[in-house]
């Protein structure tokens, strides 16, 4: 018997073709499955006798935002104030919603945002007659967490939780001593009379100036006054008594909070859940239907906005949030100017609400945005609503509006300008042995951080800073109907709260975003307002799938990278985006 050799190619080609056919079939099936999933996004439903569970577990921005978190391989969801306010409005009219269970978990926002949320809680209870029950637990209950939840008609707490009710305070870090040891010098140029523009003080002082201390003490007192007034009104406690409690440190634990009527009783969480079951008349706590308030609010707001972007809207709300920059992540003039221009040219849009939440930034970018706000206001009235912060460049872009709304606790003003040029030559020479030499055609051709500014060069930059400050005064005077001298009196880089800004003429009225929208519609003669927010929040179908899985899983995934390092990286990126002369809040406020 003879063995016949089989050609390699006779085996190879059939095997290759068969393998390709199998892979193609698998790919088609897989693609079809994925396509089917993406084309049928999860349907959001609410059962009868549902209780909304409000948690607020992180940053609260102006509108919600979802993105992939590479640290946790999950979703990072930022809750939007616009979503929350609309959620309370819809829940009040939703027969399937019986009440709200508040359990805050490290909400990060300013006191202006906190005020708007608690006002929405109050309005929800008053207009719907439905309950809001708050439960305080965890290692420590912060003042802001309690401030928001105190609007609920019922407040309970875990017996061993710490309770922080000590007033408000702040601590600033000064770098001059460290810079001296490093032979590093910061050459600071402020507007000539901008003594309140204290952002640069840590570079050349070792403690606060009198001006800085005055403005910080004043706005802390104002915010504390507003917080006490709101808590006192809801808990029926006098402002004097609340101040005494904080001054003497009388409340340090939940039990003491009950003793002084800050909360109603001490309870374990299962007891509160049982209380909720009794409120809606269900036999067992297992029969309770809880739904995440944030998800409910986001879903309702997205539905409303999808409709507003399809049909003709007559009120535009443009969100301006973050550091003012020319291009990049934040309040970029390249993006905001386009939105303002589009709204101005849209004949269906009768009025514009410009929502500002910004500490300022680039003077150039601020000027670009200011121009578009002015053009829009000349054609159709622009109403500004200030969030937690609308200061320096954030105030500059508000100045040409017809009317400015701010909360009592909004941080605003800071009408001033500064620049900082480091001198690194001495440090590099003494610490590293580096030296530098230069050749140029003209005297000032080489402006380097390794060469200290001479008297003439310093004056050149000072003149530029003063010129920008003079323009700032002129812009505000024109927009607010004041003289330059009147503006200069309340400017000089000084920070004001909304309450004092109203008194000195920098804002027109106290109120939140919904107050501004209602006024804008009425002022434009709109009887049935259709409100469209810009930029429109776009969400991919696959993100909705991940969110749905996470909601079913109901677990919180921890970041692999510590939050402190993530926050530090974010701030470094912000510093990298700073170019040119800055119109910025004197310091960064960490709420």
Residues 85 and 116 in one domain: yes
CB 405 within 8 A of CB 365: no
Dist CA 508 CA 11 (whole Å): 85
Residues 155 and 122 in one domain: yes
Strand partners, 355: 319, 385
Residue ranges with strand state E in 55-174: 60-61, 65-69, 74-80, 97-102, 131-136, 140-141, 154-157, 162-163
Residues 487 and 381 in one domain: yes
Tell me phi and psi for residue 140, to 5 degrees: -145, 140
3-state DSSP percent of the chain in helix, strand and coil, to 5? 45, 20, 35
Comparing C-alpha atoms, which of 396, 401, 399, 371 is closest to residue 383? 401
Residues 258 and 330 in one domain: no
End-to-end CA distance of the chain: 90
pLDDT for 106 equals 83
CA angle 566, 570, 571 (to 5 degrees): 120
Last residue of a domain, one of 482, 505, 534: 534
Residues 292 and 315 in one domain: no
pLDDT for 4 equals 52
What is the pTM assigned to this prediction? Answer: 0.83
Last residue of a domain, one of 496, 512, 534: 534
Residues 345 and 232 in one domain: no
Dist CA 46 CA 290 (whole Å): 9
In a domain, 356, yes or no: yes
- Give the number of other Cβ atoms within 10 Å of residue 46's Cβ: 15
User: Which residues belong to the active site?
Assistant: 197, 392
Comparing C-alpha atoms, which of 548, 388, 514 is closest to residue 83? 514
Tell me the pLDDT of the chain (591 aa) as tens digits: 445 555 555 555 556 566 666 666 555 555 555 555 555 555 678 888 999 999 998 899 998 876 655 554 455 678 999 999 999 999 999 999 999 999 998 889 999 999 999 999 999 999 999 999 999 999 999 999 999 999 999 999 999 999 999 999 999 999 999 999 999 999 999 999 999 999 899 999 999 999 999 999 999 999 999 999 999 999 999 999 999 999 999 999 999 999 999 999 999 999 999 999 999 999 889 989 999 999 999 999 999 999 998 889 999 999 999 999 999 888 999 999 999 999 999 999 999 999 999 999 999 999 999 999 999 999 999 999 999 999 999 999 999 999 999 999 999 999 999 889 999 999 999 999 999 999 999 988 888 999 999 999 999 999 999 999 999 999 999 999 999 999 999 999 999 999 999 999 999 999 999 999 999 999 999 999 999 999 986 655 444 544 454 454 443 334 444 555 555 555 555 555 555 555 666 655 555
pLDDT for 118 equals 97
Q: Give the three-state DSSP class for 434.
A: coil
pLDDT for 7 equals 57
Question: 477: domain CATH number?
Answer: 3.90.226.10
In a domain, 541, yes or no: no
Query: For 388-412, what is the HEC assignment?
Result: EEEECHHHHCCCCCCEEEECCCCEE
CA angle 568, 105, 556 (to 5 degrees): 80
In a domain, 558, yes or no: no
CB 490 within 8 A of CB 473: no
Residues 471 and 354 in one domain: yes
> Which DSSP helix (H) or strand (E) runs through 177?
helix 176-182
Residues 143 and 257 in one domain: yes
Dist CA 455 CA 439 (whole Å): 20
In a domain, 373, yes or no: yes
Residue owning tokens 């297992």: 286
Residues 341 and 427 in one domain: yes
Tell me phi and psi for residue 195, to 5 degrees: -70, -20
Residues 278 and 322 in one domain: no
pLDDT for 329 equals 81
Residues 337 and 253 in one domain: no
In a domain, 130, yes or no: yes
pLDDT for 319 equals 97
Comparing C-alpha atoms, which of 325, 333, 414, 319 is closest to residue 372? 333
User: What domain range is 471 assigned to?
Assistant: 311-433+441-534
In a domain, 445, yes or no: yes
Comparing C-alpha atoms, which of 89, 570, 60 is closest to residue 357? 60
Last residue of a domain, one of 296, 321, 354: 296
In a domain, 23, yes or no: no
In a domain, 162, yes or no: yes
C-alpha to C-alpha distances, 462 to 189, 193, 548, nearest whole angstrom: 6, 11, 56
C-alpha to C-alpha distances, 109 to 81, 120, 136, 146, nearest whole angstrom: 10, 16, 18, 13
Residues 153 and 258 in one domain: yes
Domains of the chain: total: 2
> Which DSSP helix (H) or strand (E) runs through 471?
helix 455-480
pLDDT for 78 equals 82
């Amino acid at each position: 018997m003879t063995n016949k050799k089989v050609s390699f190619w006779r085996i190879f080609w059939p095997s290759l073709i068969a393998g390709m056919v199998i892979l193609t079939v698998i790919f088609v099936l897989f693609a079809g499955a994925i396509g089917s999933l993406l084309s049928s996004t999860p349907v959001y439903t609410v059962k009868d006798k549902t209780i909304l569970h409000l948690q607020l577990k992180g940053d609260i921005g102006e509108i919600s935002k979802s993105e992939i978190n590479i640290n946790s391989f999950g979703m990072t969801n930022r809750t939007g104030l616009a979503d929350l306010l609309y959620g309370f409005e819809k829940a009040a009219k939703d027969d399937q919603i019986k009440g709200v269970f508040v359990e805050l978990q490290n909400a990060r926002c300013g006191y202006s945002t906190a005020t708007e949320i608690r006002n929405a809680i109050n309005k929800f209870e008053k207009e719907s007659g439905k309950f809001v029950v708050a439960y305080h637990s965890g290692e420590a209950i912060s003042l802001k967490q309690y401030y928001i939840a105190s609007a609920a008609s019922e407040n309970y707490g875990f017996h061993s939780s710490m309770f922080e009710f000590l007033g408000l305070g702040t601590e600033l870090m000064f770098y001059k001593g460290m810079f001296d040891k490093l032979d590093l010098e910061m050459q600071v140029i402020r507007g000539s009379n901008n003594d309140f523009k204290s952002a640069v003080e840590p570079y050349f002082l070792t403690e606060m100036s009198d001006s800085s201390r005055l403005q910080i003490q004043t706005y802390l007192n104002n915010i504390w006054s507003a917080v006490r007034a709101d808590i006192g009104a809801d808990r029926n406690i006098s402002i004097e008594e609340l101040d005494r409690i904080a001054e003497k440190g009388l409340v340090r634990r939940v039990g003491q909070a009950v003793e002084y009527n800050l909360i109603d009783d001490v309870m374990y969480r299962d007891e509160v859940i049982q209380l909720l079951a009794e409120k809606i008349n269900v036999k067992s706590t297992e029969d309770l239907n809880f739904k995440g308030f944030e998800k409910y609010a986001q879903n309702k707001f997205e539905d409303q906005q999808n409709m507003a972007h399809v049909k003709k809207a007559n009120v535009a709300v443009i969100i301006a949030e973050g550091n003012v920059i020319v291009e990049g992540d934040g309040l970029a003039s390249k993006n905001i100017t386009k939105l303002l221009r589009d709204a101005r040219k849209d004949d269906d849009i009768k009025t514009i609400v410009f929502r500002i939440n910004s500490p300022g930034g680039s003077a150039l970018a601020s000027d670009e945005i200011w121009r578009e706000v002015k053009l829009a206001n000349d054609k159709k009235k622009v109403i500004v609503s200030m969030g937690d912060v609308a200061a320096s460049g954030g105030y500059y872009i508000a100045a040409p509006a017809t009317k400015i709304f701010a909360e009592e606790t909004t941080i605003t003003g800071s009408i001033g300008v500064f620049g900082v040029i480091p001198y690194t030559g001495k440090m590099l020479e003494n610490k590293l042995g580096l030296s530098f030499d230069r050749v140029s055609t003209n005297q000032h051709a080489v402006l380097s951080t390794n060469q200290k500014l001479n008297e003439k060069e310093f004056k050149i930059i000072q003149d530029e800073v003063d010129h920008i400050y003079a323009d700032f005064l002129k812009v505000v005077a024109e927009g607010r109907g004041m003289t330059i001298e009147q503006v200069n009196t309340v400017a000089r880089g000084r920070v004001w709260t909304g309450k004092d800004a109203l008194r000195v003429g920098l804002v027109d009225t106290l109120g939140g975003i919904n107050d501004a929208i209602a006024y804008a519609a009425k002022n434009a003669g709109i009887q049935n307002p259709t409100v469209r927010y810009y930029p429109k929040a776009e969400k991919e179908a696959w993100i909705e799938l991940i969110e749905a899985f996470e909601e079913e899983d109901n677990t919180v995934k921890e970041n692999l990278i510590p939050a402190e390092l993530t926050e530090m990286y974010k701030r470094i990126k912000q510093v990298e985006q700073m170019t040119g002369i800055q119109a910025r809040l004197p310091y960064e406020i960490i709420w």
